[in-house]
Structure 1
């Protein structure tokens, strides 16, 4: 690269990455009564990003792929903050906040092809492993075949497809744990993939993020989603080497609830369940397959501030499933509202691996 292009990258990347981290902070800490306080803590990183954006204007054509990726990441990052600022200034409501935060995964998806750049690669490593030199070396090497991000009939607005990630250092000579992560209501797998990608990339797991066949998961009426999840699982298993003893079904909100609905069925192929911010009706425990429940590893995560599914529901669920014989871990996070806590992924992955060794 020319010295001028390198200088531009050095100028653009820090405010871009900081803006994405800041959007992630808002997404994690969002609680309707605390919105203004969270925004104050997040600061105004988009101003620095906006200021350096013109530096991408006149690059040589041979660096067009880098420029295109940076511009494609900057645009949704700034749009996300513009939406948040509008709400902060009285124009919009909670729905507008969630709509603004949907720009975050779009920016991450656009930026990921630039992981050849060390700062970008570091951004997509779990924070606690960013100093791991062995991991850095594996990620800096040439990607192996059949690795990276894939989308199967999962364009925005589509239903029933899936997105997935296979670590670039994947090799078929050993088995790999699989995480199937289900999005929340009205969401999609393509966006929810990014709730788990850092940890899958850093800790060595194949990640699958399906999209519900309907507007949300089949919590009532005919279950069209479980057959689709099984189809996706079969498709993945034929192409990559999966550890059949480490098949995790997890999800957020409606996705977490559906991990109960589908995962407690006696025919479920998933070995571990990890619902987050989910609801659970006592009848679900009564209707669940008793043999399936006995000894089933379940990791429940819930926020004490959850305004959609009050924490008392999760506490009751803990008691019901433990009484039914499930091997249960319960994590209640004091400062968590109805959002996804990415920091829990590391503990869930450790639990998944430890359970397999027992």
Structure 2
């Protein structure tokens, strides 16, 4: 690799990864009354990124793929910050802030293929607690097994009903693997929501499916076209990979969390564990559920005390109603969480699923 290429990468990677961490911080702490304070807390890593991006030199053609990935990741991060700064300066609303954060998964998707080549990117896609795990790092350093990594099945942006799949690169057929099915929030899509869980699935050894609803959101009323589609996706994956039938987790954010109840409490559901996050709940969901299905069913509830869309009292009622109906409920209420996805709970949920 030429000296100019090395210098460019050394200048670009730190602010790029710092910018992505900053966007993750904003996404986690996005509470309307605190928006300006949160933006001040992250500083301005995009300024250094913009400078490094604009000063890239000419690269040999053999590095074109690497350059394209770094440029795409940088441009997505910069686009996110441009919209966030517009909101901060009074030129946009909160809806624009949420649109801005949609660029972060695009940046991660662009960068992930470089994780095997660049240790800082590899570390970015690992839980901090395992970054010095010699055994895991050695397994990730080996050539990826066939049929592993990220696959998108009819899940292009704007499409409905497809799914994105992550299989750890060190997957082997010699054991059954836990599976996380993670449902996006209203108007979202699985291709983007995949990145809410990929770091943890990669770090702790779980397969991950992020499906996209068949409609604009999950089938919370009317005809349920999503449950049959989820079963189709699940059977597709189970037919090709060795999935542990005793560790099938259904989780989701907001509308996705609510749909965990709708489909996961059905007597025919194959899911062994449910983990709704920032979801709404009606007591009739517990009252109408199959009593045998609920008895002892592990359910892990996560909700924010600052949630402005579904007040925390909703989650407390869900906890009490499900426990009274016989479910084995774990409840986590997060003091500083608004209506956001708290990625820090993923490792805890995986431990609860007996993933090590």
Shorter-chain TM-score bucket reads: over 0.9
Q: Please give the per-residue CA displacement for 1:75-132, whole angstroms capped at 9, x wherever unaligned.
A: 1100000000000010111110100000000000001010021110000001221121
Alignment of 1:113-124 (within 5 A): 113-115=113-115, 116-124=117-125
Q: Is the 8 A contact 1:87 1:96 kept in 2?
A: yes
SS in 1 for 2:354: helix
**Counterpart Cα distance in 1 of 2:310 and 2:229:** 26
Contact kept in structure 1, 2:183 and 2:257, CA below 8 Å: yes
Structure 2, unaligned runs of 5 or more? none
TM-score (norm 2): 0.99
- Is the CA contact (8 Å cut-off) linking 1:277 and 1:301 kept in structure 2? yes
Q: Note the C-alpha offset of 1:55.
A: 3.6
- What does residue 73 of structure 1 align with? 73
- Could you tell me which residue of structure 2 aligns to residue 318 of structure 1? 319
Which residue of the partner structure matches residue 206 of structure 1? 207
Bigger mean CA offset, 299-308 vs 128-137: 128-137
Please identify, of 263-272 and 6-15, the stretch whose mean Cα deviation from structure 2 is larger: 6-15
1:17 corresponds to 2:17: yes
Q: Where does residue 41 of structure 2 map in the other structure?
A: 41
2:338 corresponds in structure 1 to 337
Shift of 1:54: 2.6
Does the 8 Å contact 1:56/1:67 carry over to 2? no
Q: CA deviation at 1:3?
A: 2.1
CA distance in 2, matches of 1:248, 1:222: 24
Q: Is the 8 A contact 2:186 2:254 kept in 1?
A: yes
Output one character per residue of 1:205-258: Cα deviation in whole Å (capped at 9) or x when no partner.
000000000000000000000000000000000110000000000000000000
Superposed structure 1 runs of 4+ greater than 2 Å apart? 54-57
Q: Distance in 1 between matches of 2:313 and 2:154?
A: 38
Q: Is the 8 A contact 1:126 1:199 kept in 2?
A: yes
Contact 1:17–1:123 (Cα < 8 Å) also in 2 = yes
Provide the C-alpha distance between the structure 1 equivalents of 2:79 and 2:7, rounded to a whole number of angstroms. 25
Query: Residue in 1 aligned with 2:8?
Result: 8
* Secondary structure of residue in 1 paired with 2:346: helix
Q: Could you list the per-position Cα deviations for residues 125-162 of structure 1 after superposition, in whole angstroms to 9, with x for gaps in the alignment?
A: 01221121221111111111110000000000000000
1:32-61: CA deviations, max 9, x gaps?
Answer: 000000000011000000010134341111
- Corresponding residue of 2:276: 275
| 1:149-168 matches, cutoff 5 A | 149-168=150-169
Report the 3-state secondary structure (helix = DSSP H, G, I; strand = E; otherwise coil) of the residue aligned with 1:245. strand
Distance in 1, matches of 2:187 and 2:296, equals 33
Equivalence for 2:133: 132
1:81-96 equivalences under 5 Å are 81-96=81-96
The residue correspondences of 1:253-264 to structure 2 (distance < 5 A) are 253-264=254-265
Q: CA RMSD in A?
A: 1.0
Instruction: Say whether the 8 Å CA contact 2:163–2:210 is kept in structure 1.
Output: yes
- Alpha-carbon separation, structure 2, partners of 1:12 and 1:269: 46
The TM-score normalised by the length of structure 1 is 0.98
CA distance in 1 between counterparts of 2:34 and 2:283 reads: 32
Gaps in structure 1 of 5+ consecutive residues: none
Q: Contact (CA 8 Å) 1:149, 1:165: kept in 2 or not? A: yes
- Mean alpha-carbon deviation: is it higher for 287-296 or for 126-135? 126-135
Aligned partner of 1:231 in structure 2 is: 232
Q: Does structure 1 retain, via aligned residues, the 8 Å contact 2:5–2:57? A: no
Deviations 1:255-287 (A, max 9, x none): 000001000000000000000000000111111
Q: Aligned equivalents of 2:350 and 2:226: distance in 1?
A: 24
